[in-house]
Amino acid sequence: MFKAVGELNLRRFFIQRMIMGLLMENEETTSANQPLVEMRAITKTFQNVIANNCVDLSVNRGEIHALLGENGAGKSTLMNVLYGLYAPDSGEIYLNGEKIIMKSPADAIAKGIGMIHQEFMLIPTLSVIENIILCMKSDNALKLDLQKAAKRLVDLSSRFGLDIDPWAKVSQLSVGEQQRVEILKALYRGTNILIMDEPTAVLTPKEVDDLFNVLKEIVKEGNSVIFISHKLGEVLNISDRITVLRNGKKITTVSSKDVSREQLAKMMVGREVFLQYDRPAVSVGKLVLKMSDVCCNNDRGLVALSNISLEVREGEIVGIAGVDGNGQMELAEVIHGLRKVTSGRIEINSVDTTNCSSKFAIEVGLSHIPENRQIRGLVLDFSVAENIALINCEKPPFTKNGIYFDPQNAVRVAEKLKNQYEIKCSNVNSPVKQLSGGNQQKVVLAREIYRQPKLLIAAQPTRGLDIGATEYVQKLLIEKRSENMGILLISSDLDEILAISDRILVIYEGKIMGEAIPGKTSVVDIGLLMAGSKVSEESRGKE
Amino acid sequence: MMKPLINKKNVTKHSHNKGRIQAISSFLAILMALLLSGLTISITGVNPFAAIRVLFSGAFGSSYAFSETLLRTTPILIASIGLAISFRCNLTSVGAEGQMIIGAIAATFTGLKISLASPVLEILVCIIAGFLGGALFGAIPGYLKAKLGTSEIIVTIMLNYIAIDLLSYLLDGPMREGGSFYPQSALLDQSVWLPKIIAGTRLHAGFIIAIVFDIIYFFLMFRTPLGFKIRAVGFNSKAAEYAGVNVGRSILTAMMLSGGLAGIAGAIEIFGVHHRLLNGFTAGVGFDALAVALLGKLNPVGVFLASLFFAALKVGSNTMQHVMQVPTSIVYVIQGLLILFVFTDTLIKDKLLYFEKRLKTKQSGE
Amino acid sequence: MESNYGITVQGLLAAAVRMATPLLLAGLGGLFSAKSGIVSMFLEGFMLVGAFMGFLGSVLTGSAYLGILFAIAGGMLMGLIMAVLAVSGRANQTILGVGINIFALGITSYFQSVLFGSKRPTNVSVFYDIPIPGLSKIPYIGAIFNNSLFVYAAFLLVPVVWYVLYRTPAGLAIRAVGENPDSVATLGGNVIKIRYCCLLIAGALAGLGGASLTIGQTGQFMENISSGRGYIALAAMIFGRFSPIGVLIGSLLFGFADGLQLRMQTAGTAIPYQLLSMMPYVVTILALVVFVKKSMAPAAMGRPYTKQK
């Protein structure tokens, strides 16, 4: 009988524990039932584009919530609504269960919502501390107390592990440090909902790890982070839950534990996406580009390129990998004659083009898809046809006898290219600023490739393009490679570099850190090179 | 990469509406300017409607008046074409006054010194001298802008004052007509005077020359590679540089053409109207040309119409002063107001889009 | 007034200080609008209006002090017009500035003719020189301390403007708006309001600068009395790298050139007076060419700001 009672007690004990466990779970879900932020049925239209179509989003306390989608899906728009920059056409926002209406970011900041945009909103000529207290309500309108603020900043930064010198001028900080300033700016104002728009785009792999550690510290204190990204790996790594947007609509919200990369990719794009290409074997031909010990300075007079030596041959795609801001822009510019070298030699098609003019480089056989198409590559106020004629406008087919420039010639060429490249525009006489980003890039591509260059520089060719356009561009580059074009691909998108390059050169602080072969060199090693570290002898590729 | 849309400009939805919107905004600008000027006139006790009527009859009321208006149109048109060229290159030149003066000095000097068999050839050489004088004067701000990025506005304005002083000095001394009390040059030989094209009026062949230049302007800007490059540089010099255009050379060329045309305007004023160099012969044409180039939206037809309008203002305002004692400085008031109102393009576009949106939401019954 | 003939160091210094005053006032005003990102092309027009309004006010009320209020009001009205067109209207600021200058020339000349054309007012109340006791007796530089309130006010404003721009929260916001208005907007600042205020301040100061030409000196208004000084003030600002001290130095430099050529004219040299009167303009061009290598202008200057909602 004693044994029977013991068994009964044991069973009761276990049942009790089970019930208590269930009760505790319920308690958690009740408090988790009250999300910190809820956006319901948000719709926002710009002219005739529906950027957000009845989107719901809920973010819990202490959570890192990722907003995933490709370019143009509506992620930034949704967050700009949450931050009070845009007023939604319809829908509501709830904070702690209470409905809030925000007329400007000032309201959002007052409610504890902070946003760090993709392009940093810092003032380079001012110091860190001045940037941080900018536009904050001050006790004394007649005096700017920077000392007191700096002290508070230092306390805050040590709490979260974000080291920063309050008195440094922002223009002298690295990109990673600037991001820290942005985060501190938000935390200083008492943000407990931190929105970050594509924060890892400008960071090295190590800086990404540091950032994730900081974010984990931030949410430990009960704050929430909304993390906008299109990078599947990171999103799975750092976030608790993921909301996927596509074409302005919300597709689903899942826990990051319950979903795979492939599933996410499919939700993001709506179809199977491979972005893997067949690269037919092409025998490499003669030199189209040779750079020997090239050095140059950037606009601020600091060294941008340091003894760069590289070669590109016909029929190969050489990828320059690296985080933005390590000299890629200057590299394209010196080859094109848009920037003077301080030493070294450049040869295009075996012709010395060191410090030549832009025109000369073009005549020797260079084509260049510039990194910033709207500023460098296109005259937005010109029509599509005029942009096609922009290069070599004084030569046939645009000007037949050297004096008379017949616009119809440009129109004819543009029509042909419009069909060939499937450029979507009402007609070739419409101003190019009306075209979408992808179609604008197609205009640039068409113009550059139409000249049948021997050497093509493609700088960030798929930046800002959606998946369809990205695929198109990458396939086109591979096609041209088969036609014996030598391509120098400069991209901060490592996936892109890995997908289409024959060889990879990693650039860091203006130096080539090493060469890698896609498939042979590990991504980790490439990441190390990108961050400036040397790699072990074994895994180093040729040269 | 999606940037926050905070600074995206509103885009013209329909490209074929752009010309229409520009014309509408120019007319609205004229209307507003006349309205406010009328207000100014009425404050001083003068009946604005009567004043405007006198203005128009003074400009167009008789065939002589009309010929005077066309006469005044000539230098304004040529100078404003020059300014239009520099504006198309995104250069805000205010230097037409000074360039006219230097051109006139060069042309008159040439005319007084040389003597060729054919008068037509002589006139041609003098006009070329005027072009060169103005072009070299325009090369100064052009070169400084191209090489150093110096503000062409400040340089051209300073050069205006310098040119005025230079002219005064020359007419006081080196170029003064022998034995005369007045600061003026010797009279040009009648053989180089520009022939009159309507008997009984002062209207001279310069008017035809001005029209010809207007046509040349169209061809230069839209049918030559040079014009194409100038426009490309004006819209986006970074893209033009990338495309192989020599931006510095385009800037210098634009400023020299601009100065040269103003120089021709100055030369024609001397050779067609005054027949000798005098102080103040420009009569503010340089500033008229500025307003005209803007009002005419840099368009060959627009610039012609605007020049006509301004010439009418000038001629009519003289009559207005005689008859109604309205000071001629009212012309500067109108000019200034025109410039202020002429950029109502964006405002009109915004308002049109706004009304369009309101209409659409009303129609869909939201 | 100066009673020195001939060219002396003392006379030149005193003249430099006096001729610099209108440039300095206008330049400091232009600094506010420039720092907030507006191209200050309008200084010439603002000065003309201030000159006329100061003159008008003094004639109407009989008091030069009230004339100052008129000048400030006139300048601020012009500032408001510029703000509406440039900030709200988002039109090309440079051309708007030129338009304002032409308009100001027209309207001041017009009312000058209409109101005072036939009979020039005499005995207009002006600001007389007030010698500062003690300081005005110092040899060589003493004459500097024997000037009108305009001069003293202009120079005292330099540290005041510096403090406002660099040591107050408002000044920080102004400087930020001129570099990157979007940053300020995302922090909840009101870019439009800040630019409007800066233009009003610019109008007040430039108007004051113009008044210094009429009620600060001869007590007469003539057509186009500013004669390009507004543009020279703009050049001083650019030359001075958009800082209050720089504006001070630039104004003194150009004021010196102006003073020198006037003295040389009255002293009677062999150089024709026209070539002398060219001097300030030539000096301005040379200063811009020789000393201005890279533009230190606020990064967002000239770009119209669009708020997206």
Calculated CA dihedral for residues A117, A123, A128, A132, nearest 10 degrees: -60
User: pLDDT-based confidence at A268, cuts 50/70/90?
Assistant: confident
Q: How many CB pairs lie under 8 A apart between chains A and B?
A: 108
Is B345 within 8 Å of chain A by CB? no
Option in A105, A124, A130 nearest C187 (CB): A105
- Residue A523 pLDDT exceeds 80: no
Could A404 and B224 be called an inter-chain contact, meaning their C-beta atoms sit closer than 8 Å? Answer: yes
Chain B residues in contact with A388 by the CB 8 A cut-off are: none
- Residue C110 pLDDT exceeds 80: yes
Could A83 and C169 be called an inter-chain contact, meaning their C-beta atoms sit closer than 8 Å? Answer: no
Option in A119, A402, A405 nearest B223 (CB): A405
Could A119 and B4 be called an inter-chain contact, meaning their C-beta atoms sit closer than 8 Å? Answer: yes
State the average pLDDT over residues A434-443: 88
Interface of B with A in 12-51 (CB under 8 A): 12-13, 15
Q: What tens digit of pLDDT does each residue of C186-239 get?
A: 888 899 999 999 999 999 999 999 999 998 888 888 888 888 899 999 989 988
Which of B2, B5, B7 to probe the C interface (max C CBs under 10 A)?
A: B7
Could A393 and B228 be called an inter-chain contact, meaning their C-beta atoms sit closer than 8 Å? Answer: yes
Is A136 within 8 Å of chain B by CB? no
State the average pLDDT over residues A486-508: 90
The three-class DSSP label of residue C251 is: helix
- How many CA within 13 A on the CB side of residue B365? 0
Alpha-carbon distance A343 to nearest alpha carbon in chain B (angstroms): 22
- Assess if CATH 3.40.605.10 describes domain A33-269: no
Chain C residues in contact with A138 by the CB 8 A cut-off are: 169
Q: How far apart are CA C246 and CA C240, in angstroms?
A: 3
Option in C92, C105, C112 nearest B343 (CB): C92
Predicted pLDDT of residue A203: 79
Q: How many CB pairs lie under 8 A apart between chains A and C?
A: 72
Beta bridge partners of A39: A57, A93
C228 in the Ramachandran plot: left (φ > 0), alpha (ψ -120 to 50) or beta? left
Asked if the peptide bond before residue C22 counts as cis, ω within 30 degrees of 0, the response is no
Q: How far apart are CA C71 and CA C54, in angstroms?
A: 4
Which residue in chain C is spatially nearest to B141 when comparing CA positions?
A: C285
State the average pLDDT over residues A77-90: 90
Chain C residues in contact with A85 by the CB 8 A cut-off are: 185-186, 308
Predicted pLDDT of residue A538: 42
Encoding tokens for residue A33? 């039932």
Beta bridge partners of A345: A292
Sign for the pseudo-dihedral over CA of B291, B297, B299, B305: negative
Identity of the highest mean pLDDT range in A192-196, A521-525, A527-531, C63-67? A192-196
Could B240 and A405 be called an inter-chain contact, meaning their C-beta atoms sit closer than 8 Å? Answer: no
Helix (H) or strand (E) run with residue A39 in it: strand A37-46
| Residue type present at position B108 | T
Predicted pLDDT of residue C203: 97
Q: How far apart are CA B53 and CA B63, in angstroms?
A: 17
State the average pLDDT over residues C106-126: 83
> Residue A349 in contact with residue A455, Cβ under 8 Å?
yes
Which CB contacts under 8 angstroms, 24+ apart, belong to A277-283?
A277/A474, A277/A475, A277/A478, A277/A499, A277/A500, A279/A478, A279/A481, A279/A500, A279/A502, A280/A482, A282/A315, A282/A316, A282/A481, A282/A482, A282/A484, A283/A315
State the average pLDDT over residues A2-17: 53
Helix (H) or strand (E) run with residue A93 in it: strand A90-95
Predicted pLDDT of residue B344: 67
- Residue C175 pLDDT exceeds 60: yes
Name the DSSP class of A63.
-
Q: What tens digit of pLDDT does each residue of A398-422 get?
A: 998 888 999 999 999 999 999 999 8
Could B239 and A394 be called an inter-chain contact, meaning their C-beta atoms sit closer than 8 Å? Answer: no
Alpha-carbon distance B128 to nearest alpha carbon in chain A (angstroms): 22
Alpha-carbon distance A402 to nearest alpha carbon in chain B (angstroms): 8
Residue closest to C116 by CA, chosen among B329, A497, B252, A208: B329
Encoding tokens for residue B114? 């040389």
Could B165 and C278 be called an inter-chain contact, meaning their C-beta atoms sit closer than 8 Å? Answer: yes
Identity of the highest mean pLDDT range in B18-27, B99-108, C10-19, C112-121? B99-108
State the average pLDDT over residues A235-264: 88
Option in C172, C308, C309 nearest A134 (CB): C172
Predicted pLDDT of residue A13: 55
- Residue A280 pLDDT exceeds 60: yes
State the average pLDDT over residues A448-454: 92
The three-class DSSP label of residue A515 is: strand
Alpha-carbon distance C276 to nearest alpha carbon in chain A (angstroms): 41
Of the candidate ranges A499-508, C87-96, C165-174, C287-296, the one whose mean pLDDT is the lowest: C287-296
Predicted pLDDT of residue A35: 84
Q: What tens digit of pLDDT does each residue of A291-321 get?
A: 999 999 988 788 999 999 999 999 999 999 9
Predicted pLDDT of residue B201: 84
Residue B138, number of CB atoms within 10 A of its CB? 34
Domains of chain B, by residue range, sit at 71-284
- Residue C290 pLDDT exceeds 90: no
Q: How far apart are CA A328 and CA B364, in angstroms?
A: 51
Option in C110, C281, C289 nearest B162 (CB): C281
Q: What tens digit of pLDDT does each residue of C41-52 get?
A: 999 999 999 999
Predicted pLDDT of residue A24: 46
Alpha-carbon distance A480 to nearest alpha carbon in chain B (angstroms): 21
Chain C residues in contact with A125 by the CB 8 A cut-off are: 175, 179, 299
Encoding tokens for residue A327? 């000299």
Is A386 within 8 Å of chain B by CB? yes
> Which residues, at least 6 apart from B133, have a Cβ–Cβ distance to it below 8 Å?
B102, B103, B104, B105, B106, B107, B263
Predicted pLDDT of residue A536: 52
Predicted pLDDT of residue B25: 77
- How many CA within 13 A on the CB side of residue A195? 25
Chain A residues in contact with C187 by the CB 8 A cut-off are: 105-106, 109, 121, 134-136
Beta bridge partners of A515: A505
Each residue of C51-71: b (16+ CB within 10 Å) or e?
Answer: bbbbbbbbbeeeebebbbebb
Identity of the highest mean pLDDT range in A11-20, B17-26, C268-277? C268-277
Q: Right CATH number for A287-378+454-530 from 3.40.1370.10, 2.40.30.110, 3.30.70.3040, 3.40.50.300?
A: 3.40.50.300
Residue closest to C161 by CA, chosen among C46, C293, C4, C26: C26
User: pLDDT-based confidence at A272, cuts 50/70/90?
Assistant: low
Q: Of C138 and A396, which is predicted with more confidence?
A: A396
> Residue B142 in contact with residue B251, Cβ under 8 Å?
yes
Name the DSSP class of A431.
B
Is B168 within 8 Å of chain A by CB? no
Q: What tens digit of pLDDT does each residue of A51-68 get?
A: 889 999 999 999 999 998
Could A464 and B241 be called an inter-chain contact, meaning their C-beta atoms sit closer than 8 Å? Answer: no
Which residue in chain A is spatially nearest to B7 when comparing CA positions?
A: A85
The three-class DSSP label of residue A394 is: coil
Of the candidate ranges A218-222, A389-393, A502-506, B72-76, the one whose mean pLDDT is the lowest: A218-222
Is B227 within 8 Å of chain A by CB? yes
- Rounded to an integer, what is the distance from CA C164 to the centroid of its chain? 18
Which residue in chain A is spatially nearest to B15 when comparing CA positions?
A: A430
Q: Which residues of chain B have pLDDT under 50?
A: 1-16, 366
Delimit the CATH 3.40.50.300 region(s) of chain A. Answer: 33-269, 287-378+454-530
Q: How far apart are CA A474 and CA A453, in angstroms?
A: 17
Which residue in chain A is spatially nearest to C181 when comparing CA positions?
A: A121
Residue closest to B26 by CA, chosen among B351, B311, B313, B338: B338
Interface of A with C in 119-158 (CB under 8 A): 121-126, 130, 133-136, 138, 141-144
> Which residues, at least 6 apart from B154, have a Cβ–Cβ distance to it below 8 Å?
C231, C234, C235, C238, C284, C285, C288
> Residue A308 in contact with residue A512, Cβ under 8 Å?
yes
A316 in the Ramachandran plot: left (φ > 0), alpha (ψ -120 to 50) or beta? beta
Could A109 and C187 be called an inter-chain contact, meaning their C-beta atoms sit closer than 8 Å? Answer: yes
Residue closest to A119 by CA, chosen among B25, B55, B1: B1
Chain B residues in contact with C40 by the CB 8 A cut-off are: none
Which residue in chain A is spatially nearest to C164 when comparing CA positions?
A: A142
Predicted pLDDT of residue C148: 82
Which of A82, A113, A123 to probe the C interface (max C CBs under 10 A)?
A: A123
Backbone angles phi, psi at A56, to 5 degrees: -110, 145
Could B154 and C105 be called an inter-chain contact, meaning their C-beta atoms sit closer than 8 Å? Answer: no
Could C109 and B332 be called an inter-chain contact, meaning their C-beta atoms sit closer than 8 Å? Answer: yes
Strands in A98-100's sheet, in edge-to-edge order, are A49-59, A37-46, A90-95, A98-100
Query: Which residue reads 């200058």 in tokens?
Result: C101
Predicted pLDDT of residue C30: 96
Q: How far apart are CA A60 and CA A36, in angstroms?
A: 5
Predicted pLDDT of residue B285: 92
Option in A198, A336, A431 nearest B15 (CB): A431
Q: Of A277 and A473, which is predicted with more confidence?
A: A473
Alpha-carbon distance A383 to nearest alpha carbon in chain B (angstroms): 10
Calculated CA dihedral for residues C235, C238, C240, C245, nearest 10 degrees: 90
Could A124 and C179 be called an inter-chain contact, meaning their C-beta atoms sit closer than 8 Å? Answer: yes
Chain C residues in contact with B155 by the CB 8 A cut-off are: 285, 288
Predicted pLDDT of residue C288: 87
State the average pLDDT over residues A518-542: 67
Q: Which chains touch B (3 or more CB pairs under 8 A)?
A: A, C
Residue A85, number of CB atoms within 10 A of its CB? 25
Q: By CB neighbour count within 10 A (0-12 exposed, 13-18 middle, 19+ buried), where does A318 fall?
A: buried
Q: Which chains touch C (3 or more CB pairs under 8 A)?
A: A, B
| Residue type present at position A90 | S
Domain C9-291: assigned CATH number:
1.10.3470
Is C293 within 8 Å of chain A by CB? no
> Residue A162 in contact with residue A183, Cβ under 8 Å?
yes
State the average pLDDT over residues A325-345: 93
- Residue A397 pLDDT exceeds 80: yes
Beta strand residue intervals within B188-266, DSSP E = none
Identity of the highest mean pLDDT range in A121-125, A165-169, A282-286, A455-459? A455-459
Could C186 and A121 be called an inter-chain contact, meaning their C-beta atoms sit closer than 8 Å? Answer: yes
- Rounded to an integer, what is the distance from CA C84 to the centroid of its chain? 21
